[in-house]
Amino acid sequence: MAITEDTKTKGFSLQSGPHMSTELDVERLIRKREAALGYRIMASWGWGADGSGHITARDPEHTDCFWLLGYGVPFGEATVDDLVLVNESGDVVEGALEINPAAFYIHAPIHASRPDVVGAIHAHTPYGTPFAALATPLTMTSQEAVAFHELQGVFDGEELNVTDFATGQRIADALGEGRLVVLANHGLLTVGTSVASAVGFYLNAERAAEVCIKAPQGREISSQSASEVHESVGKEINGWHVFQWLIRSRINDPSVVG
Ligand SMILES: [Zn+2]
């Protein structure tokens, strides 16, 4: 599979990008492996140790369904066989485990509203959650923040635990056509046209949130400069590249997810 082939060597090309396959079974496995690796990347920082947070991967064939980790599986032990498939009603249609209901209510309206979104990730992270308490968008005070220039929204509802589809739809509306939505008093959520880029951009968002928290008076660059920098840090391939670095830096052997 693509990820294993890439990681046979220490380096990877600047020109390399997402591996898409027209063979549905192959593409499904790519997405599931990226999701399982994403959970393990989260666990490598201790994120999700309390069960909070989720990654979803749209199925390439049944496009109104998505994969996510079965409830109760430690993120650091995630494999492709621990993922379950849920439909647009929240029913588990493949796999034996239950799911975190909040994961469905937050992610399902996003997948339904954004056909371009393959992957989505939400977590309660060391800087993302404190930053979300400010209920404001990221300021353009770091390179990582610029990935979200004109691509971020804020959901300012007070539903800190999302228990219905309608609330999730308001989150999807706040995301709009963007890449990041700040869930006020809750945490961050990023999306991508691949699971890999969604996870890569989550790391960008977390780092940008750290800068906002540690340097609240930091200089903000101009909108014009942000637009220019965005060209080199804000493309989908940039998020995908971050993910490749994360696999190399945080996962000893990516084939461990199956
Ligand atoms: Zn949450």
CATH of the domain at 235: 3.40.225.10
**Whole-number average pLDDT of the chain:** 95
Is 46 inside any structural domain? Answer: yes
pLDDT of residue 6: 52
Is 2 inside any structural domain? Answer: no
Reported as type and span, the H/E element at residue 154 is strand 152-155
Nearest-10 crossing angle of helices 101-113, 165-175: 50
Is 9 inside any structural domain? Answer: no
The 10 Å CB-count burial string (b at 16+, else e) for 119-156 is bbbbbbbebbbebbebeebbbbbbebbbbbbebbbbbe
Q: Is 1 a residue whose pLDDT tops 80?
A: no
> What is the residue range of 213's domain?
17-252
Residue 32 token pair: 């599931």
pLDDT class of 163 with cuts at 50, 70, 90: very high
- How many whole angstroms from 88 Cα to the centroid of ligand 1? 20
Is 81 inside any structural domain? Answer: yes
**What does the CA dihedral 20, 22, 26, 27 come to, rounded to 10 degrees?**
50
- How many whole angstroms from 96 Cα to the centroid of ligand 1? 23
- How many whole angstroms from 21 Cα to the centroid of ligand 1? 32
Is 60 inside any structural domain? Answer: yes
- Beta-carbon count within 10 A of 41 CB: 26
pLDDT of residue 10: 76
- How many whole angstroms from 186 Cα to the centroid of ligand 1? 6
Cβ distance 34 to 247 under 8 Å?
Answer: no
Q: Is 71 a residue whose pLDDT tops 50?
A: yes
Is 199 inside any structural domain? Answer: yes
Give the chain's domain count: 1
* CA within 13 Å, CB half, 249: 10
- How many whole angstroms from 52 Cα to the centroid of ligand 1? 6
Q: Is 3 a residue whose pLDDT tops 70?
A: no
Is 86 inside any structural domain? Answer: yes
pLDDT 10s digits, 165-203: 999 999 999 999 999 999 999 999 999 999 999 999 999
pLDDT of residue 9: 66
DSSP 80: G
- How many whole angstroms from 23 Cα to the centroid of ligand 1? 34
pLDDT class of 8 with cuts at 50, 70, 90: low
Q: Is 246 a residue whose pLDDT tops 80?
A: yes
- Beta-carbon count within 10 A of 53 CB: 25
CA distances from 119 to 20, 151, 159, 194 (A): 14, 16, 23, 5
